[in-house]
Amino acid sequence: MPQLSFIKPTGRVTLGNYIGALRHWKPSAGSVFAVADLHAITVAWAPDKLRESILEVAAVLAALDLHSEGGLVFLQSGVPTHSEMAWLLECMARMGEMSRMTQFKAAGRNDGSVSVGFFAYPILMAADILLYDAEGVPVGEDQKQHVELTRDLALRVNNLYGPIFTVPEPVIPAVGARIMSLKTPTAKMSKSQDDPDGTVLLLDGADEIRRKVLGAVTDSGREVYFDPEEKPGISNLLEIAAGLSGESREAWAERYRTAGYGTFKRAVAEVVVEETSVVRTRTTALLDHPEELNAILRDGQERALVRSSPKVRALKNAIGYPLAD
Question: Binding residue for ligand AMP (CB under 6 A) from 35, 149, 189, 271?
Answer: 189
Residue nearer to ligand AMP on the CB measure, 77 or 81? 77
Residue nearer to ligand AMP on the CB measure, 19 or 244? 19
Residue nearer to ligand AMP on the CB measure, 34 or 189? 189
Integer Cα distance of 235 and 259 in angstroms: 15
Q: How far is the CB of 288 from ligand AMP (least distance, A)?
A: 24
Q: Is position 183 an interface residue for ligand AMP (rule: CB under 6 A)?
A: no
Integer Cα distance of 259 and 224 in angstroms: 8
Rg, C-alpha atoms of the chain: 22
Q: How many CB atoms lie within 10 A of CB 47?
A: 8
Q: Is position 178 an interface residue for ligand AMP (rule: CB under 6 A)?
A: yes
Residue nearer to ligand AMP on the CB measure, 49 or 307? 49
**What letter represents residue 93's amino acid?**
A
**φ, ψ dihedrals at 236, nearest 5°:** -65, -40
Q: How far is the CB of 129 from ligand AMP (least distance, A)?
A: 15
Q: Which residue is nearest to ligand AMP (CB)?
A: 20
Integer Cα distance of 98 and 263 in angstroms: 53
Q: How far is the CB of 325 from ligand AMP (least distance, A)?
A: 38
- Report the DSSP beta bridge partners of residue 136: 169
Q: DSSP letter string over 202-259? A: TT--HHHHHHHHHT----SSS-----TTT-HHHHHHHHHHHHHHSS-HHHHHHHHTTT
User: ∠ CA 231-232-237 to the nearest 5 degrees?
Assistant: 100
Q: Is position 238 an interface residue for ligand AMP (rule: CB under 6 A)?
A: no
Q: How far is the CB of 307 from ligand AMP (least distance, A)?
A: 23
Binding mask 17-36 for ligand AMP (x = CB under 6 A): x-xxx---------------
Binding residues for ligand AMP, total number by CB under 6 A: 13
Give contact residues for ligand AMP (rule: CB under 6 A): 7-8, 16-17, 19-21, 177-179, 188-189, 191
